């Protein structure tokens, strides 16, 4: 009897057995938690279902910007071609103008010989030569064409931003996919052996072929420091 009493006494929790009131409260709390867990599960299911759509939308953004960028590059290529053609025409025009100037100089000599016999024709010739040239090519056109070509090239180079933002977006998609997988694990543990959670399609996440730290910067510093690293390497390994 002594041993039994001791065993019962040892089984009594510190603070005594729970009362009926406290047991009622406990059941009430647990009853409240179950619908809460159900609500969490539903939210998780909804979230994991939405994530693939978000990734797909990011992928659509990347495709759309690439498509638009290539269109712009096409236009720039056509522009550059046209400027080259104009430049070639300008050069041909200048060559013709130089030949024309030579012929007019010859005529100046011939006309001068008419001074005594036909001074009226000589006078008219002088008026013609003194008038502004209506067919001459304006000065500075070469420089303008060069500037247009340079601007087209600058636009083309700036479009590198599309590649860089694509990589940044790919980094975000990768993170989204990681979150989706974690959520799916949590969802699975909440289901805890009950009916398995509905299959959630994988997000449209890219493989590892992106640089999430890619940055678009005009500063020459990155290339300068890269050049220093390359030069140091070459010095160290060419000796």
Partner 1 sequence: MANTKFLVVDDSLTMRRIVINTLKSIGFDNIIEAADGKDAVAKLLSEGADFLITDWNMPEMSGLDLTKWVRANQQFGEIPILMITTRGNKEDVIEAMKMRVNNYIVKPFTAPGLKEKIDQILKTVGTGAA
Q: Determine, following the binding rule CB under 8 A, whether residue 185 of this chain makes contact with partner 1.
A: no
- Least distance to partner 1, CB of residue 201, Å: 21
Q: Determine, following the binding rule CB under 8 A, whether residue 39 of this chain makes contact with partner 1.
A: no
Q: Determine, following the binding rule CB under 8 A, whether residue 71 of this chain makes contact with partner 1.
A: no
Residue 135 parent element (H or E) = none
Q: How far apart are CA 197 and CA 184, in angstroms?
A: 8
Q: How far apart are CA 191 and CA 197, in angstroms?
A: 7
Residue 73 parent element (H or E) = helix 20-112
Which of 164, 181, 183, 191: binder of partner 1 (CB under 8 A)?
164
Which of 39, 85, 160, 189: binder of partner 1 (CB under 8 A)?
160
For partner 1, the closer of residues 128 and 233 by Cβ is 233
List C-alpha distances in Å: 204 to 6, 104, 192.
Answer: 65, 73, 27
For partner 1, the closer of residues 45 and 177 by Cβ is 177
Q: Is the separation of the CB atoms in 68 and 211 below 8 Å?
A: no
List C-alpha distances in Å: 189 to 12, 49, 180, 184.
Answer: 34, 17, 14, 9
Q: Determine, following the binding rule CB under 8 A, whether residue 215 of this chain makes contact with partner 1.
A: yes
List C-alpha distances in Å: 46 to 50, 57, 173, 223.
Answer: 6, 17, 18, 46
Mark the segment that binds partner 1 (CB under 8 A) among 74-82, 88-96, 117-125, 130-138. 74-82
How many residues are listed for the chain in this entry? 239
Q: Determine, following the binding rule CB under 8 A, whether residue 211 of this chain makes contact with partner 1.
A: yes
Q: Is the separation of the CB atoms in 93 and 138 below 8 Å?
A: no
- Least distance to partner 1, CB of residue 68, Å: 10
Q: Is the separation of the CB atoms in 210 and 170 below 8 Å?
A: yes
Mark the segment that binds partner 1 (CB under 8 A) among 24-32, 35-43, 63-71, 127-135. 63-71
Which of 115, 161, 175, 202: binder of partner 1 (CB under 8 A)?
161
- Least distance to partner 1, CB of residue 174, Å: 12
Provide the binding-site residues for partner 1, judged by CB under 8 A: 66, 69-70, 73, 76-77, 80, 153, 156-164, 166-167, 206-211, 213-218, 222-223, 225-226, 229-230, 233-234, 237-238
């Amino acid at each position: 009897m002594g041993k039994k009493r001791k065993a019962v006494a040892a089984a009594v929790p510190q603070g005594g057995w729970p009362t009926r009131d406290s047991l009622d409260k406990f059941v009430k709390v647990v009853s409240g938690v179950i619908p809460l867990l159900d609500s969490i599960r539903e939210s998780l299911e909804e979230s994991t279902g939405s994530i693939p759509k978000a990734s797909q939308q990011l992928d659509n953004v990347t495709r759309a910007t690439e498509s638009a960028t290539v269109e712009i590059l096409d236009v720039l290529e056509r522009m550059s071609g046209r400027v080259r053609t104009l430049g070639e025409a300008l050069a041909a025009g200048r060559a013709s103008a130089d030949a024309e100037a030579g012929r007019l100089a010859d005529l100046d000599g011939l006309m001068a010989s008419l001074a005594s016999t036909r001074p009226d024709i000589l006078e008219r010739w002088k008026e013609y030569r003194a008038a502004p040239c209506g067919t001459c090519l304006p000065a500075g056109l070469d420089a303008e064409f060069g500037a247009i070509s340079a601007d087209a090239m600058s636009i083309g180079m700036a479009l590198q931003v599309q590649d860089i933002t694509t990589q940044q977006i790919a980094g975000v998609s990768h993170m989204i996919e990681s979150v989706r997988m974690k959520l799916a694990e949590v969802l699975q543990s909440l289901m805890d052996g009950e009916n398995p959670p509905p299959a959630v399609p994988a997000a449209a996440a890219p493989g590892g072929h992106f640089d999430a730290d890619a940055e678009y910067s005009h500063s020459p510093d990155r290339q300068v420091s890269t050049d220093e690293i390359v030069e140091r390497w070459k010095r160290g390994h060419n000796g």
